[in-house]
Amino acid sequence: MEQFEEELVAALREIVKDGNWQYVGNKCDFHSTCTKLYSEDGEHIVLVHTEDDRFWAMDSSCPHEGGPLDLGDIEDLVDGRRVLVCPWHHFDFCLETGVSSLGLQNQIYEVRVVEDKIYVKTQNKLSLSPIPATNTRSLLGKISADDYKSSPNEDTLCFWATKILCTPDPKEKVTLTLDVQERWNSGVMTVVGQATPPVQPSRKDNLTVLQPGRIKRGKGGTQASRIALLHSLANIEQWAIDLSWDIIARFSSVRLKTGEPLPRQFFNDFVKVAGDEAKHYHLLETRITELGSFFGALPVHNGLWQSATDTSQDLLARLAIVHMVHEARGLDVHPQTLSRFAARGDCSTVEVLEVIYKDEITHVAAGLRWFTYICSQEERDGLSTFHDLVKQHFKGYLKPPFNTEGRKTAGMTEEWYVPLVKPSS
């Protein structure tokens, strides 16, 4: 009888294997509503566990703009359907059919629970952690598995920050950033570590780089002009990804005058900023493609990196100039930029710009938060320190108009920037 049971179990295992059912874990492994399952082909899956103890599965990448559905929310619609809502643009996808009320269709997968074991029907191997295979599109971009496993001491936040800075292809930079962000946030990677960042991030050889003043950004009138403006914004976002990783790697070993290191939340915040900037580049690059062009079709500039170079030895100066001056200026120009695309009926671009704007407010807030934290810990006056650093590292005066509402939302009230405006004669 015992031999018969063993043969039966073996036969059942073969049936499961031949039927493309992948075992992903026990019910007790899935406490969260949404769990990302990594697929060996790079087309990852989100496993949804609803309050009625049922399980559902669909592609984890939103078919609209690639948003992370594993970070989405579950909602019950008035017609009785239960949907997973994308956190980027709020597209909803029915758990049963994968159909969105906005006309999109997401791939769904059959799920079965057998004796508290969860099976998902797909021919690809699934895992709760990234699969170290060189043929996947996800998992740390196109860095090889040998790089990933070369040393336990190299699987640190600063090691990967430097890898990203040395990655020339912007799409690979985005993929790598999002994967590292996920590993850091999930606790798979826990060590900040130390690494020496490059003097300047890598860029593709076929990219034409000009002085900032020679770049034509466009005014959003014709389609060609709108593409030029989007191209300029995408270039800024690519540099912003690098600036986020550079502040992590360059200042990881900083000690405050109290002798204390930077809190872990500092690194959490700038990993989030890096992930947001990667998302922004992806949205802009996708929109440029939809308009019939591609990133790299026009010249770009590296003006933002000059500020990074000028502040490479001073964390407070970096926070002041990059995050409290340049990023705040991004909030200032948002209303005018948005109106140019809205005037042409370009609703898709308006939607992208609104997503970017909301995130950038949090980036200014992060810069301000850590600037004031360091000043407080070192018993400095935050306002006077900021004004002195801007006068030292920023050429000229700050110029209006200012987006007072956006800056205030980020915590940057007028006393921070009005004294830096040129006095009226």
Look up the CATH number of the domain holding residue 292: 1.10.620
pLDDT of residue 19: 65
pLDDT of residue 353: 96
Asked whether residue 149 falls in the same domain as residue 258, the answer is yes
Nearest-angstrom CA–CA distance, 346 and 340: 9
pLDDT of residue 271: 97
Q: Which residue, of 93, 127, 161, is where some domain finishes?
A: 127
- Total domains in the chain come to 2
Asked whether residue 319 falls in the same domain as residue 382, the answer is yes
Asked whether residue 175 falls in the same domain as residue 27, the answer is no
Is residue 389 included in any domain, yes or no?
A: yes
pLDDT of residue 87: 76
Q: Are the beta carbons of 104 and 63 closer than 8 angstroms?
A: yes
For 253-289, write each residue's pLDDT tens digit. Answer: 999 999 999 999 999 999 999 999 999 999 999 999 9
Q: Which residue, of 98, 127, 156, is where some domain finishes?
A: 127
Asked whether residue 285 falls in the same domain as residue 312, the answer is yes
Asked whether residue 42 falls in the same domain as residue 91, the answer is yes
CA angle in degrees (0–180, nearest 5) for 417-353-322: 35
Is residue 255 included in any domain, yes or no?
A: yes
Express as a percent the part of the chain with pLDDT over 70.
85
Domain that holds residue 110: 21-127
Both tokens of residue 95?
A: 């758990």
Is residue 48 included in any domain, yes or no?
A: yes
pLDDT of residue 213: 47
Mean pLDDT, contiguous 10-residue spans, the chain (425 residues) = 59 58 90 88 87 92 73 84 82 88 81 93 86 40 37 77 96 96 94 94 85 49 86 94 97 94 96 97 96 92 86 96 94 91 94 96 96 97 97 89 95 96 78
> What is the CATH classification number for the domain harbouring 56?
2.102.10.10
Asked whether residue 41 falls in the same domain as residue 100, the answer is yes
Provide the whole-model pTM.
0.65
β-bridge pairing 55-59 and 108-109: antiparallel
Is residue 134 included in any domain, yes or no?
A: no
CA angle in degrees (0–180, nearest 5) for 155-26-50: 100
Is residue 1 included in any domain, yes or no?
A: no
Sequence-separated (6 or more) residues with CB below 8 Å from residue 25: 117, 118, 128
